[in-house]
Amino acid sequence: MRQTMFNSEVELGKFLGSIGVIPEAYQAISETTLAYELHTTPSGNTVLAFSSCSPDYTTRFLNGGFDLVPSKNFQGVDFISTKVNSSFFINEAAVELFQQLGDDLKELENKHINSSLIITGSGLGGYLAILSTLRLHHAIDVEESNGSKKTKRPICITFGSPLIGDKAFKSAIDERPQWKSSFLNVVARKDPIASFFSSETRYKPFGTFLFCVESGGHAAFEDQDSILPVLEAMKSSNDDNSQVYDYTNVLSSIRRKVLYRGVSELGEFNLNPLRAGITLQLKEVDVLSDITNDEIGKMEKKQTDMIKRKSAMSAYDPTKKLNDMKISLTYMEWYMKTRKSEGGYYDSYKNATSTSDIEKQQLMTKHQRILNQYWKKVVEEKDIMPQKEGAKLRKRWLFGGTNYRRIVEPLDIAEHYKKGNTNYIKNRPDHYKLLEKWSDEDKKDSKTSEVTRHKAASLTEDSCFWAHVEEALISLKDLVNGGSTENEEKLKEFESYMMSAINNYSVSQDIFLEGSSLMKWWNGYKAHKGTGYASEFAEYMNNEGYRSYQ
């Protein structure tokens, strides 16, 4: 049987766009007035930020004033070499700028061998951040070889840093997995410096690239065969642009962006998820039309081969298993986007009657079962809190668990009430309750304050939302049939619950679709209460405020 492939970089892009450390790093650069400075961010992170280079130096760079030079000519970068890659080529500007900083920077780096440090720079300042990070990694390697267990690896976040070295430079970093995994380069489409070197040169990328556009669209790539065509497409749109790019606005847009990925963008429902993921990423950063089908095919083949190699090398890898689950989650996300004409995801699943709808429902039930089995096992084994691999991996599990809960639990609720049962929340499965509990605890423990939402959530945040709607329908039915004041109170509580969710933008637009259970409840409630009934929620619905909810 052919194995279905999934592009996990789609989920990685979502995760990177959601974390606060990236805009905090750029803010530190903006506040740096010397060649480099240490900052403490609002969330408590220590950041070593390098200032941007002078406009004259940047102009000289953009005019082709610096090229690749052999590493053997410069002793200041010999810490990068390995036995396999003993020599490499590096951009001359990077070496020149780095050597100007002297030994004071090296002493500062060594003071943070045993403490967490984020190193950052923008434009050509990114070169300095990269070399500083590599030198600190080398110093940590020396300490660990001497038996130290107190060391902490740095993280390097650059903004619009151009490619720095050739294939041997990249390979020297790839040989050390702990080095390779610590680099993130944020690249805006309109940044001319970031895309100055692309596929037509000897330069090769390494680490993760987070591409972004002014609208907030963003996509993550880790493979050089994917990164280079995107840089090439961006370079073609910046040929006449020589302005230093300010990332402030685009980073704000990313934080606000509701990432929309659905079947309406892809056409066929049964698309290959791997190719669909690549296509979505390219479309998200406005370069899909600039990249040929042959290039997309090469990206797909490269990632397919990589996935097969990883599968053959590891019998069981918790991270791989988590990525495998995203295949099922992606199918369910696409199903959600096709159900708007049927009253929405929840009601379409619950009330499927046609042969086509039942077939789709059965396919979703299959993926629902796979996901439920996986997450029940994960929760039972307490693989989420804590994770042996550390806090970053724990965050990733919590992030995946939250998405799973918000997408899959509504289908469990639909099954519960379709069978004539009531009071789902009282009988709610323990693994959902624990996932929500751990997520809430993580938010409280996080030092980064949440961004105030100004747009409707792409997924309704309360995964028990439809259970509240179902209970409201039951209370309304009892009330119409002569129920007690207890039913009245329950429905008033539901009104308050709804207004709170609307004001906080914590529910998706789909709940207001024509034919949804919520709208059926409202129409019945409105008829029972009569035209004279007044409340905040009734006013909102009567004035059709939901039509502009987005």
At 519 the three-state DSSP class reads helix
pLDDT at 261: 40
Cα separations (Å) of 163 from 133, 458, 468?
15, 35, 52
194 C-beta neighbours (distance < 10 Å), count: 29
Q: Which two tokens stand for residue 226?
A: 């994917």
Domain ranges of the chain: 9-313, 317-446, 451-550
Quote the CA–CA distance of 371 and 332 in Å, as a whole number.
Answer: 11
Q: Which two tokens stand for residue 39?
A: 């900052």
pLDDT at 18: 65
Quote the CA–CA distance of 404 and 397 in Å, as a whole number.
Answer: 10
Q: Among 395, 393, 401, which Cα is nearest to 374's?
A: 401
Task: Extract the runs of DSSP E, i.e. beta strands, from 175-307.
Answer: 183-188, 208-212, 218-221
Q: Which two tokens stand for residue 549?
A: 């909810």
Q: What ranges in 191-292 are assigned the alpha helix state H?
A: 224-236, 248-256, 273-284
Cα separations (Å) of 391 from 206, 387, 488?
24, 7, 46
Quote the CA–CA distance of 160 and 139 in Å, as a whole number.
Answer: 26
User: Do strands 118-122 and 155-159 pair parallel, antiparallel, or not at all (unpaired)?
Assistant: parallel
Paired with 187 in beta bridges are 211
Task: Extract the runs of DSSP E, i.e. beta strands, from 53-154.
Answer: 68-70, 89-91, 118-122
From the centroid of its chain, how far is CA 203?
A: 27
From the centroid of its chain, how far is CA 185?
A: 14
At 342 the three-state DSSP class reads helix
Q: C-alpha angle 394/396/400, rounded to 5°?
A: 120
Which contacts qualify for 29-35: CB closer than 8 Å, 24 or more apart? Answer: 29/120, 29/121, 29/122, 29/125, 29/159, 30/248, 35/100, 35/101
Q: Which residue in the block uniquely carries the two structure tokens 């969710």?
A: 501
Write down the CATH superfamily of domain 9-313.
Alpha/Beta hydrolase fold, catalytic domain (3.40.50.1820)
Q: What are phi and psi of 119, to 5 degrees?
A: -110, 130
Q: Global pTM?
A: 0.53
Residues in the chain: 550
Q: H/E element holding 47?
A: strand 46-50
What is the pLDDT tens value at each position of the chain, 550 positions in all? 334 443 455 566 666 766 778 999 999 999 999 999 999 988 888 999 999 888 889 999 998 889 999 998 888 888 888 767 778 999 999 999 999 998 899 999 999 999 889 999 999 999 999 999 999 999 998 888 777 888 889 999 999 999 999 999 999 898 887 888 889 999 998 898 988 887 778 999 999 899 888 888 888 888 888 888 888 888 766 656 567 789 999 888 877 663 444 333 444 334 455 666 667 677 766 666 667 777 777 777 776 776 666 555 544 566 777 777 888 888 788 777 777 777 788 888 888 778 777 887 888 888 889 898 888 888 876 644 334 434 444 677 888 889 999 999 999 999 999 999 999 999 999 999 989 988 888 777 665 445 567 788 888 999 999 999 999 999 999 998 887 788 899 999 999 999 999 999 999 988 999 889 999 999 999 999 998 899 999 999 999 998 988 7
Q: H/E element holding 350?
A: helix 345-350
Quote the CA–CA distance of 453 and 326 in Å, as a whole number.
Answer: 26
311 C-beta neighbours (distance < 10 Å), count: 13
Q: C-alpha angle 507/511/514, rounded to 5°?
A: 155
